[in-house]
Chain A
Amino acid sequence: MWFITRRLAFYAVAAWVAITVNFAIPRVMPGNAVDAMLAKFPNLDANSLHALQAEFGTHAHGSLVSQYFSYLGDLAHGNLGLSVNQYPANVTTVIAQTLPWTVILVGVATIISFALGTLLGIVCAWRRGGWLDRFLPAFTFLQATPYFFLALIVIELFAVSWGLFPFGQGYSLGTSPGWTWSFISSAAYHSFLPALTIVLTSMAGWMLQMRNVMITTIAEDYVLVAQAKGLSPGRVMFTYAARNAILPNLAGFALSLGFVVAGALVMEIVFSYPGIGLTLYNAVTSDDFPLLQGIFLVISLTVLAACLVADIVYFLADPRTRTRTAY
């Protein structure tokens, strides 16, 4: 219980830091939302300027402290302000539109990458020195390749030269979002290449970690005993060796799920995929501070939530953490 209390305290502090950093960003950076609006519509009159200033809360009078507390109050009501780029739209609406794209695509890709990488890692360790194990440096080449570079090559081969898959956008122009078969199949078709690149670049990491932990586990006496009992190799491999070796990978997996929202920035820009990363990038380049703040907050809080879930899962899965005080 002490363990959980400590972790909860940590998450409270971390969330507070994230919220405060978020508060600081537009106040430290040059420019503000109203200037950005002015740049977009140069011939606004003085009255609408005042109206905008009131709406975006810039040129606020009170001290920094009172601004901070009114910001906290707005957050508590789920009020993230208005987007400059897509003007009358609420930041919350913009985020709600783009978030599902990212979560579904990157989430599925991360799960595939984890499952495949872990499985290959198990085989690698079990047949150490086999052909798969000797190929390991080739996989690390993929891991060391800059993500967007691999994406560019995949686009060049599959989309430009061979024309097998579309790239850009999340679905075909003829379809409209909804729970129809044509839309879902179109979305899946468009997400194949982005998912492929994510799996290719992230798989090697899972594989390597699984292999290294598994090799240490294989040398344990209980694995030898299981083999001496005459259990089938498959059973020894999965239920005796792999099951005990998977814990570090599992912890990493839970953490990486949190970065699903944050980690796809480059992918979405290269594939111009309509997710939250592309929206964040557009917000940065067009000084859309309210949207920027909102997305940043959502990303930080998702990572924190995933870490919390990871901790709890790990706490339930591995009894040893319940007695260990150091984390």
Chain B
Amino acid sequence: MSALATPTDPASDGSAQLPAAVVKSRREALRRLPGKAKVGAAILGVFILIAIIGPAIAPYDPSATTPGQALPTAPSTHHLLGTTATGQDVLSQLLAGTRSTVVLGLLTGLIATGLAVVIGTSAGFLGGVPDEGLSLLANVFLVLPALPLLVVILGYLPHSGELPTAIVLSVLGWPWGARVIRAQTLSLRGRDFVAAARECGESTWRIIFFEILPNEIGLIAASFVGTVLYAILTSVALAFLGVADLSSWSYGTMLYWAQNGNAVQLSAWWWYAPPGICVALLGMSLVLLNFGLDELGNPRLRAGATRRIGRRTWRPSDPTPVLRGGDS
């Protein structure tokens, strides 16, 4: 985060101790983080916490059924979020299922962003034939219809766990980030500090990873957040279609079983609503985080830029305000 707001000075790279003023300004930058980003980070933090401790604090075994039960029961003090038609505790499923969804999202984000960074920076920096080839590859992957392809591929991968799913999602999800990173690298390549580094005899890979990459942290973070969102929404949709390991718990499989058990027709909102709302909250936290990153990079985008001048409201689209009277 702090690297976003403090411009990376190539000269200070590698200095072991940071002066007190730099540390202070970094703390200052963190405090100035847009409110949306703070809210997003807080919600995301809660979900990550649940992903870590959720299965341990679940009150029941999420798969334990009550023999003889045929209808879902509404929330009560025993089951805070009610039960499914077979008597499984919805809250326990939710607590246990968070881990799988969050892990899959973050894993895909890491793999796909890693691919995007390597391919995007190489294509942008090397130019020429490698650039043409890699751009073509990215564009081909962009136009392949992802969801039908995923259904076809994952439908035939036996017992697809988190890692195979994450890999397939990454392979289809990297080009969006790679395109943006490539464009940014293209514009950074011509800057003076890169020319200086080249004159100093630094190797190509050192220039890419130590000179160019630190200046793209904001972009990479935004692309990571976007990819995590894509992975979560897609994996939930896939599980809902039954293209996932249905014996494990995640938000997607919860929704799949709720749909299979006719939760909507039975009006058992406590069964189908919690996982959906959790996905929406998780997704919203990521969108807000991305909003914040956007605003950090482009302060003009911040809302609330209207100012009251005298009795008039000034909007950024209005001409520069001039005070009447002229006592200045």
Q: Are B264 and A152 in contact (CB under 8 A)?
A: yes
- The smallest beta-carbon distance between A16 and chain B, in angstroms, is 9
A146 and B236 contact, Cβ closer than 8 Å, known pairs A141-B280, A152-B264: yes
Interface residue total, chain B, C-beta cutoff 8 A: 55
> Which chain A residue shows the least CB distance to B131?
A326
* Complex-state Cα separation, A51 to B86, whole angstroms: 47
Contacts of A140 in B (CB 8 A): 284, 287-288, 291
Q: Which of B306-328 contact A (CB under 8 A)?
A: 306, 315-319
Residues of A near B140 (CB, < 8 A) are 13-14, 17
Q: Are B152 and A160 in contact (CB under 8 A)?
A: no
Most buried by A among B267, B283, B286: B283
Given contacts A263-B147, A269-B241, A284-B151, contact A126 B317 (CB under 8 A): yes
Question: B258 to chain A: closest CB distance in Å?
Answer: 9
Beta-carbon contact of A144 and B240 below 8 Å: no
Contacts A140-B291, A144-B283, A152-B259 given; does A304 touch B148 at CB 8 Å: no
Interface stretch of the complex, out of A112-120, A212-220, A244-252: A212-220
> Chain A contacts of B315 at CB under 8 A?
126-129
- For A269, list chain B residues within 8 Å (CB): 241
Tell me the minimal C-beta distance from A126 to chain B in angstroms. Answer: 6
* A144 in complex: contacting residue of B264, B286, B319, CB < 8 Å: B286
Cross-chain contact A300 with B265 (CB below 8 angstroms): no
Whether A299 contacts B148 by the Cβ 8 Å rule is yes
Beta-carbon contact of A145 and B304 below 8 Å: no
- A128 in contact with B303 (CB, 8 Å): yes
Q: What residues on B are CB-neighbors of A37 within 8 Å?
A: none
B198 to chain A, nearest CB (A): 21
The answer to whether B264 touches A212, judged by C-beta atoms less than 8 angstroms apart, is no
* Complex Cα–Cα for A205 and B301 (A): 15
Pairwise interchain contact A152-B151, C-beta atoms closer than 8 A: no
B140 to chain A, nearest CB (A): 5
Of A102-110, A131-139, A180-188, the one with at least 4 CB within 8 A of chain B:
A131-139
Closest to B183 in A: A326
Cα distance, A182 to B301, chains bound together (Å): 49
Contact B279 A149 (CB under 8 A): yes
A55 at the interface (CB under 8 A from B): no
B117 on the interface (CB 8 Å rule)? no
Q: A129, B306: Cβ atoms under 8 Å?
A: yes
Q: How many angstroms from the CA of A263 to the CA of B146 in the assembled complex?
A: 9
Q: How far is the CA of A219 from the CA of B273 in the complex (A)?
A: 43
The smallest C-beta distance from A18 to any residue of chain B, in angstroms, reads: 7
- Residue with the greatest number of chain B CB neighbours at <10 A, chosen from A215, A219, A327: A215
Closest to A303 in B: B143
Quick check: is A227 within 8 A (CB to CB) of the other chain? yes
List B residues 243-286 near A (Cβ within 8 Å).
Answer: 255, 259, 264-265, 267, 269, 272-273, 276, 279-284, 286
B152 touches A284 (CB 8 A): yes
Do the beta carbons of B279 and A129 come within 8 Å of each other? no
In the bound complex, CA of A304 to CA of B144 (Å): 9
- CB-CB contacts below 8 Å: B116-163 with A: 135-136, 139-140, 143-145, 147-149, 151-152, 155-156
Q: State in angstroms the CA–CA spacing of A15 and B255 once bound together.
A: 36
The verdict on B186 contacting chain A, using a C-beta distance below 8 Å, is yes
Does A155 reach chain B (CB closer than 8 Å)?
Answer: yes
Residue in contact with A160 in the complex, picked from B135, B241, B265, CB distance below 8 Å: B265
Any B CB within 8 A of the CB of A143:
yes
Nearest chain A CB to B57 CB, angstrom units: 25
Chain A hits for B300, CB < 8 A: 215-216, 219
Contact of B303 with A136 in the complex, beta carbons under 8 Å: yes
As a 0/1 sequence over residues 207 to 237 of chain A, the CB contacts with chain B under 8 angstroms (1 = contact) are 0000010011011000110011000000001
Q: Which residue of B lies closest to A138 (CB)?
A: B284
Asked if residues A145 and B279 are in contact (CB atoms below 8 Å), the reply is yes
Any chain B CB within 8 A of the CB of A281?
yes
B220 to chain A, nearest CB (A): 19
B236 to chain A: which residues have CB within 8 Å?
Answer: 146
**Pairwise interchain contact A146-B237, C-beta atoms closer than 8 A:** yes
A134 touches B264 (CB 8 A): no
Complex contact B144–A134 (CB within 8 A): no
Q: Are B259 and A137 in contact (CB under 8 A)?
A: no
Taking CB atoms, residues of chain B closer than 8 Å to A127 are: 315, 317
Chain A residues with CB under 8 Å of B317's CB are: 125-128, 218, 223, 237, 241
A292 cross-chain contacts in B, Cβ below 8 A: 152
Interface string of A29-50 (1 = CB under 8 A from B): 1100000000000000000000
Q: How far is the CA of A83 from the CA of B275 in the complex (A)?
A: 37
- Residues of chain A contacted by B304 (CB below 8 angstroms): 129, 134
In the bound complex, CA of A136 to CA of B269 (Å): 27
Question: Which residue of the partner chain, among A14, A215, A228, contacts B139 with CB atoms under 8 Å?
Answer: A14
Tell me whether A195 is interfacial, beta carbon within 8 Å. Answer: no
Q: Answer whether residue A259 sits at the interface, using C-beta atoms and an 8 A cutoff.
A: yes
Rounded to whole angstroms, the CA-CA distance of A143 and B250 in the bound complex is 20
Complex alpha-carbon distance, A31 and B323, angstroms: 79
Residue of B nearest to A9 (CB): B136
Is B294 in contact with chain A by the CB < 8 A criterion?
yes
Cα separation A129 to B306 with both chains bound (whole Å) = 6
Residues of A within 8 Å of B288, CB to CB, are: 137, 140
**A contact residues vs B (CB 8 Å cutoff):** 10, 13-14, 17-18, 21, 25, 29-30, 125-130, 133-134, 136-137, 140-141, 143-149, 152-153, 155-156, 160-161, 212, 215-216, 218-219, 223-224, 227-228, 237, 241, 258-259, 261-263, 265-266, 269, 277, 280-281, 284-285, 292, 295-296, 299-300, 303-304, 307, 326-327
Closest 3 CB pairs of A and B: A144-B283, A149-B276, A262-B145
* 14 further contact pairs, Cβ within 8 A, besides A128-B315, A148-B255, A285-B155: A133-B303, A140-B291, A146-B240, A148-B240, A149-B276, A152-B259, A155-B264, A216-B298, A216-B300, A223-B317, A263-B147, A266-B147, A281-B241, A326-B186
8 contacts between A and B (CB under 8 A): A14-B140, A17-B140, A127-B317, A130-B306, A134-B303, A146-B255, A147-B233, A326-B183
